[in-house]
Structure 1
Amino acid sequence: MDKETAEFLAKHPYIPTKFIALDAETTGLEAETDKIIEIAAIKFDLLSNDHPVFESLINPAVKLPRKITNITGITNKMLVDQPPFAELAHDLKAFIGDLPIVAYNAKFDKGFLDAEFANVGIVLNNHYHCALNLAKAAFSLPNYKLATVAQHCNIQLDEAHRAKADAIAAGRVFMCAAVTLGHINEIKPKSAFGKPKGADHKAYPPNEDGKLYGQTIVFTGELSITRAEAFEAAAELGLEIKTGVSKKTDYLVVGEQDENLVGPSGISSKQLKAQDLIDEGFDIQILDEDEFMELTKG
C-alpha cells in the first residue's frame, strides 16, 4: 500500500478497504418476471490497489425488448451464445464472497440478484450500500442520473448502461459521496408530507432525441426529489409529462402517499386507474422512485 492510499484510509476509516461494486443490465424493471442480461462485479481492494473484474453477458432465454437494446446497445444476437445465469452463479458467488456490495440504486440490483440466485438455490446475505442514496445525501444536483453524479465527481463514464462501466462508476461515486459526507449512512431522511411542490409540466417539453421519445409519463405521490427534478429527468428521456392517467399512458411513477389525501388504502386515484387499465390489457408500467431513477440512469 502506497503512502497516499494509507493516508486516505486513515482519514476516511468508514470506507471499506474491500468491497464489490456491481451492476446488472436487465430485460426490464420487474425482478419477479424480468431477467439479467449482463452482470459486472468489480472488487475494489484499496489495500493492494488491485481491482479484479467479473463480467459476463447472460442469455436470459427470452427475447430482448427493443427498448432495452436502444438503452444498452445489447442485442439478441449478442446474447444467444452466452451462458445462462445458472452456469455462472457459483463463480459469481465465490467472487463476491462476504464483501459488502455497492450498487447505484442497490434495491434494483439486489432484487434481480436475489431472484436469479434463488433459482439455483443460493442465498446472498451480503450487506448492500446504495451509491444513489449516498449521492442524494451528499450532493445538491439537478438530477441524480449516474452520468450526472459521475461528472460532478470528475469520474469518467464512457459506456453508460453497460454493466462494467456503470459498476466502476458506482464504486467511485460511492467513495466520492462518502468522503463528502464523512460517513456511509446512505439513508436520506424523508421530508414531511405535503402536496407535491411546484412545477408546471408544460415547461418541460420532451427531448426529441431522448430514448423514450413518443411515450408519456404521469407522477403521483411524494418523491425524495422535487417535481421539477422529476420532470426534468423525464423530459430528458423524451417522455411527455401528463397530469392524468389514460389509455395512452406508458409510465406511472408512484411516490409515497399521504393517507390524509388518498384515504386509508394509501393508493392514489391515478394508481387505481392505471391498475384498472392494466387489467383491461393496456401496457402501463407502474414504477416506484428507485425504478424511475434506474430508468434515467446514465
Structure 2
Amino acid sequence: MLLLKRQVNDWLSSQREGAARTVGASYAVVNPHTDFDAFNTRLHGIGPHHVRNAPGFDEVIDLLFPVLSRHHLVQHSNFDKQAVNAASRTYGRDAPDFRWIDSVTIARRAWPELKGNGGHGLGNLKKVLNLNFRHHDAGEDARAAAQVVLHAEAHMGVPFDELVAPKRKAYPSPVTRKGNAAGPYAGAVVVFTGALGLSREAAADLAAQSGMTVKAGVTRLTTYLVVGDQDLTVLGGHSKSSKHRKANEMQAAGHPIRIIGETIFKAMVGG
C-alpha cells in the first residue's frame, strides 16, 4: 500500500474540517503461474479463474517499481515484504530495496494498552479505531493499514517522518569510577563484562572504594577484567564477550591483565 505524504496532509486537513476519513486504494491481480492453495482461495476469494489473463509478477513489478521505490510502503506485519521478496527470488531477481513500514509496530507505539486486550491485528483495530474495510481483501487491507498509520499520527501528534523512522535502541551510559587513592588496589584499572550478580553501579562502587579505577573498555592500562560467574553468553557468534576476547589477546601479547570471576573480585574487595 502506498502511503504518500500528500495523502497524510489531506487526511489531517479533512480531520480539522470534520470531513470523512478516507484513504484512496487501488489493486490488481497477478498471475503467479503456480497452483492455488484451497485455503488461500477461501480466505481471500481469489482463484485461478480470476488471474487467468492477468500479467505475471515480473511484468507488474517492472511497471510499479518507479513509483514504489519513491514512497513508503505500509504493510500490516511483515507478510507483504516477504511475499514480494519471495516472488522476486522465484523470477531470479534481487529483492527490491523498498522502504517498508509495519503498521503493527506503529500501532503498538500508539496504543500500547491493546497488548493483551485484543491485540494490534487489523480485526481488533477495526473495532477500536472504527475503521471501515472488508478484512482479507487485498485492496481493503492495504487501505486499512494506511488508515492505522494516519490514526496513529493524529493520536500521537507526531510528524509523519518521525512516526515512520525506525526507533533507535537506547543504550545505558557506561559506568566509570575514579579509584580511592588510599585503597589497597590504588592504581589498578578494572573493567566489567558479562552478567554480574551485582549491578554495574554496585560493582563499580566496590571497586572504587578499594582503589580500583573503573573504565568502560579494555585498554593497555587495564589490569583486571571481571567476568560474570554465569557469563560467556554468545555475542556475535562467539562464546566470550568482545571485552573478554580482547583481554585474552592482550594476555597473549604479554600485557599484565588478569581475568577473574565475580566471586574472586568480591573476595578481593570485601564485597
Q: What TM-score bracket applies, with the shorter chain setting the length?
A: 0.3 to 0.5
Provide TM-score, normalisation by structure 1. Answer: 0.44
Q: Which structure is higher in helix share? A: 2
Q: Which structure is higher in strand share? A: 1
Instruction: Find the structure with the greater CA-based Rg.
Output: 2
Higher RCO (CA-CA < 8 Å; seq separation 6+): 1
